[in-house]
Structure 1
Amino acid sequence: MRTAIMAFAIAAMTQAATDVCQAADAPLIQVQRIPLENVRGRIDHMAVDIAGNRLFVAELGNDSVDMVDLKSGKATGRISNLKEPQGIAYLSDGDLIVVANAGDRSVRFFRAADLAPVGTVALGEDADDIRTDTAGGRVLVGYGNGGLAEIEPTNRSLVSEIKLAGHPEGFEIDRKANRAFVNVPDGRQVAVLDLRSGKQVSTWKFTSLNGNFPMARVGSGGPVAVVFRSPPKLVLLDPATGSVEQSVDVCGDADDVFFDGKRQQFYVSCGDGEIDVIERDANALKTIGNVGTSAGARTSLFVPELDRLFVAARAGWFESQAAILVFRPSP
């Protein structure tokens, strides 16, 4: 009996050592799990305050936003009584949190120091993703059945609106060219917008690809990276013409994609419970790893300055508590 127990223990230790080696060789290594207390339902986008080492989490299903101290690994404050918060951004100039709320068609501003409200902009239905234009000092918000709104954060006023063919999902700003690339899955297109004139200047249509939700840029002037859900593919598009340069299969139900310029690789987070790590070179895109998360963990945020990928894991049947999973790229 004693021999059998020792044999089992040795086998377990051997398996544990193998798991550690495999983890060490993985392109992403989980280094932290930050619990989110009393958070139910879907979690949407995140934003970061690099100087203050704070993460802000839009908890859509919980009608709240949590502020997380990344040093202690704990949530230190909460904005409650929101209406389906989806998009979120942090403005270091003014120390402001910007929250787009789908439920009440608002974009709300809060002081990050004490989470006090400081203003609201009424917008169209389904206020969603947010991007900050640091060059112009403006905030861009996708909303409704087809619109991109430009907001002045200092006086909290609506500056302009650009109409689109459908509800916008992921979008990116080309600050050098003063353009925006916008995923419009309902129109099966990427819309190219001129931010100076406030008009759509080009339309990249797709016939065999559907569900273009997440988007990223490959450096300044590089390709536009778009992830489609049907079929699930990461596609690199020429920023001038929209023609396909490269593509590769990815995990299902993708909601975020980021490009790691240091390692020349993409991170695609998917609702089927994994992150695909895809390497890019001049010739091809190659999947170099599939890292497990949890079912429904679709949204993520890669912060190059911290060299960390944050993934939002919702509470569910197998995860009793919502959490932020923190991954370190390797090497």
Structure 2
Amino acid sequence: MLPAILSAVLAGIAVANGSIASGAEAPPLQLEDKIPLGDVRGRIDHMAVDLARHRLFIAALGNDSLAVVDLASKRLDRLIGGLPEPQGVAYDRATDTLYVANAGDGSVRFFNNGDLSAVGQIELGSDADNIRIDSRAGLVFVGHGDGALAVIDAPTRSRTADVPLKAHPESFQLDAARIFVNVPRAGTIDVIDRISRQKIASWPTEGRSANFAMVLDEARQHLLVAFRRPAELGVFSLNDGALVGTVSTCGDVDDLFLDSKRNRIYISCGDGFVDVLAVDGDTYRQIDRIPTAAGARTSLFVPELDRLLVAAPAKADSGAAIFVFRPSP
């Protein structure tokens, strides 16, 4: 359940882009607040959240640091420096451990999330990137290098295996039996068996490229993959990898989320928009395009907060900030 203090804070945030006129239909996302990120400069990558402590973690790649935001007070709490190009960040509540994957030296660094002290690291070689955690299985998966998923045992913080791939993995998602991996340079979506840790399929992207963002829609047995070339969402069958539909999107997409409560898809793009798609049966259609900021392609949808958080990088006339969007209704 959402902590009472955070619920009250979010409920009291004023709508920053004005009141909705009486009788007018509210947009599907309403901007509630902008949380300044202080001296954060350059590219911003992935984010993660610790609900119990009201913390948002932001990989400030261009700053070689991790930004920690207090969501309850809506302010930057601290910057953890000395991280060489952090990309992936994930929080494991079961072990109260924060994981940060770094492109610069290929390390995955562990932090005790109580006091955010460093408690160890694993060297993966190069370009440590996306992280996924399976808390029930006690496993952490990290994409890295020229093509591999590292498997880390969470309780012991030890690397137990590597799953080879043809090229560097971007976003990947887990279901109970499989791992689905975007491999843009190979032009494929690879499917890994979670037990044998062997590749069992390689789905073609049908002439599309730059497949970075991905999300599972298990209720409809679909894998949703966002491409940059062309800018569109591909809908693939989880059964056989067949492309069953496409929807045009905004450009330079980097994150993609499913809002199961409302049957919506949120797609954040570097050209300064979030596309909102409605899901009708097995069909996906765009219902709105919400303006954000140039370069704001990284986002995080947090169902427990019922908020979409979008990271806007610093520009000549504005500092870096987290845009807080409230879905409506």
* TM superposition score normalised by structure 2: 0.91
- Partner deviation per Cα, 1:292-315 (whole Å, 9 max, x = no partner): 111111110001111000000000
Letter in 2 for 1:165: K
| Residue of structure 1 in register with 2:91 after alignment | 90
Query: Please, which moves more after superposition, 162-171 or 219-228?
Result: 219-228
| Residue of structure 2 in register with 1:186 after alignment | 185
Measure, in 2, the Cα distance between the counterparts of 1:116 and 1:283: 46
| Residue of structure 2 in register with 1:33 after alignment | 34
Measure, in 2, the Cα distance between the counterparts of 1:318 and 1:66: 21
Shift of 1:54: 1.3
Runs (4 or more) in structure 1 with deviation over 2 Å come to: 16-24, 219-222
Matches within 5 A, 1:145-294: 145-175=146-176, 177=177, 179-219=178-218, 222-282=221-281, 284-294=283-293
Measure, in 2, the Cα distance between the counterparts of 1:254 and 1:170: 12
| Residue of structure 2 in register with 1:308 after alignment | 307
Matches within 5 A, 1:120-135: 120-135=121-136
CA-atom RMSD, angstroms?
1.8
Measure, in 2, the Cα distance between the counterparts of 1:42 and 1:286: 30
Measure, in 2, the Cα distance between the counterparts of 1:207 and 1:234: 12
Shift of 1:76: 1.4
| Residue of structure 2 in register with 1:112 after alignment | 113
Letter in 2 for 1:311: V
- Partner deviation per Cα, 1:53-81 (whole Å, 9 max, x = no partner): 21111100001111111111012122111
1:324 matched to 2:326? The reply is: no
Q: Alignment partner of 2:21: what SS?
A: helix
Matches within 5 A, 1:10-25: 20-21=20-21, 25=26
Q: 1:283 to 1:87 in 2, by over 3 A?
A: closer
Q: 1:44 to 1:18 in 2, by over 3 A?
A: closer
Aligned residues: 313
Measure, in 1, the Cα distance between the counterparts of 2:119 and 2:55: 20
- Partner deviation per Cα, 1:114-158 (whole Å, 9 max, x = no partner): 111001001021100000012211110001110001011222211
- Identity rate, percent: 48
Shift of 1:209: 0.8
| Residue of structure 2 in register with 1:3 after alignment | none
- Partner deviation per Cα, 1:186-219 (whole Å, 9 max, x = no partner): 0110000012111110000123211110000114
Q: Alignment partner of 2:185: what SS?
A: helix
Give ranges in structure 2 of 5+ residues lacking alignment. Answer: 1-15
Measure, in 1, the Cα distance between the counterparts of 2:296 and 2:80: 22
- Partner deviation per Cα, 1:91-114 (whole Å, 9 max, x = no partner): 112221100000011000011221
Q: 1:275 to 1:313 in 2, by over 3 A?
A: same
| Residue of structure 2 in register with 1:66 after alignment | 67
- Checking the alignment, whether the CA contact within 8 Å between 2:17 and 2:30 is kept in structure 1 is no
Letter in 2 for 1:198: R
Measure, in 2, the Cα distance between the counterparts of 1:231 and 1:37: 35
- Partner deviation per Cα, 1:262-299 (whole Å, 9 max, x = no partner): 11110000000000001111253211111111111111
| Residue of structure 2 in register with 1:11 after alignment | none
Q: Alignment partner of 1:127: what SS?
A: coil
- Checking the alignment, whether the CA contact within 8 Å between 2:98 and 2:111 is kept in structure 1 is yes
- Checking the alignment, whether the CA contact within 8 Å between 1:85 and 1:100 is kept in structure 2 is yes
Measure, in 2, the Cα distance between the counterparts of 1:242 and 1:62: 39
- Checking the alignment, whether the CA contact within 8 Å between 1:219 and 1:261 is kept in structure 2 is no
Q: Which has the larger radius of gyration?
A: 1
Q: 1:235 to 1:160 in 2, by over 3 A?
A: same
- Checking the alignment, whether the CA contact within 8 Å between 1:308 and 1:328 is kept in structure 2 is yes
Measure, in 1, the Cα distance between the counterparts of 2:151 and 2:250: 33
Letter in 1 for 2:326: R
Letter in 2 for 1:326: V
Give ranges in structure 1 of 5+ residues lacking alignment. Answer: 1-15
Shift of 1:240: 1.4
Measure, in 2, the Cα distance between the counterparts of 1:241 and 1:181: 12
Q: 1:53 to 1:208 in 2, by over 3 A?
A: same
- Checking the alignment, whether the CA contact within 8 Å between 2:203 and 2:241 is kept in structure 1 is yes
Q: Alignment partner of 2:289: what SS?
A: strand
